[in-house]
Amino acid sequence: MQTLDMITFGEAMAMFIADSPGALHEITKFSLELAGAETNVAIGLAKLGFNTSFISKVGNDAFGKFIVQKLQERGVLADGVHVDPHYPTGFQLKSQVEIGDPEVQYFRKGSAASHLQPADFNEKYFANAKHLHMTGIPLAISQSAREFAQTALTFMKSKQKTISFDANLRPALWKSEKDMIKTINLFAKQADYVLPGLAEGKCLTGYETPEDIASYYLDAGVKLVIVKLGEEGAYYKTSKESGFIKGVKVSNIVDTVGAGDGFAVGVISGLLENLSVKDMIVRGNAIGALAVQSFGDNTFYPTKEELSHYITKHYEGVK
């Protein structure tokens, strides 16, 4: 079994992207793509040359086969994606917009991935990975998936592996905002690296500024907090240093979905290569900026050469 640079888990879905702008109920032609916050990160890191693996369940259906095929085509190990004969693969519809955020409708209740459970956890497989990336989405889709997440987190911490956590808040999936905040924070505080967006941080901590949001998690034992500020860049804080890293201004924003996952790709790749915090964030900002320039969630994620070129162009003096 080859050593994995990063492992992640969650729900991958088939995504139908509208071929033209307009309300979803008026669209008659769609293009099929792969969707999922965790798969975006796995794909992004694979494109940069890292060994990545995605763990999940899919149904014994066309969508499930499509997901496995797309993961493999994009360099992600999918041997941890198991076929569940009893439940279907989830899917979603995504509108095309000329400005702003697209409309997304999910069809995922009772999906195969929502039946992920602790019995599906493979210790040997996870022990072979250097880094675990988590998001808040598996915590929301079912109690059993949440228990799987805690099993994975506890195990990786016991093996002294590094762990990153991106809230990826999906309020519609939770019973209440109170439950969402309590559960997300429970997991975030167990991670080494926490990557909230500013609005997410305000919701989760009750604080208004990036500095206070970061302090909230640092006080709980997190090593590094990076608050994403969109095109303004990001704020970071550790026990020893803090600061802002400017973002990349994008003149033509096509679709914002996937930008936050792209940011995580940059940060994790920098972490795996032992880069400085500042250089990790520069990578994150660059990939996030590239991501918003295409309709697909991860279509414009770069290769290592493309990333280096983009950073050189937009960050003078940074390689």
Given 166, 261, 279, 297, the catalytic residue:
261
- For 199, residues 6+ apart whose C-beta sits below 8 A from its C-beta are none
> Torsions phi, psi of 186, nearest 5?
-55, -45
**261 an active-site residue?**
yes
Closest CA to 111 of 247, 13, 256, 235: 13
Residue indicated by tokens 């991958």: 12
Catalytic residues: 261
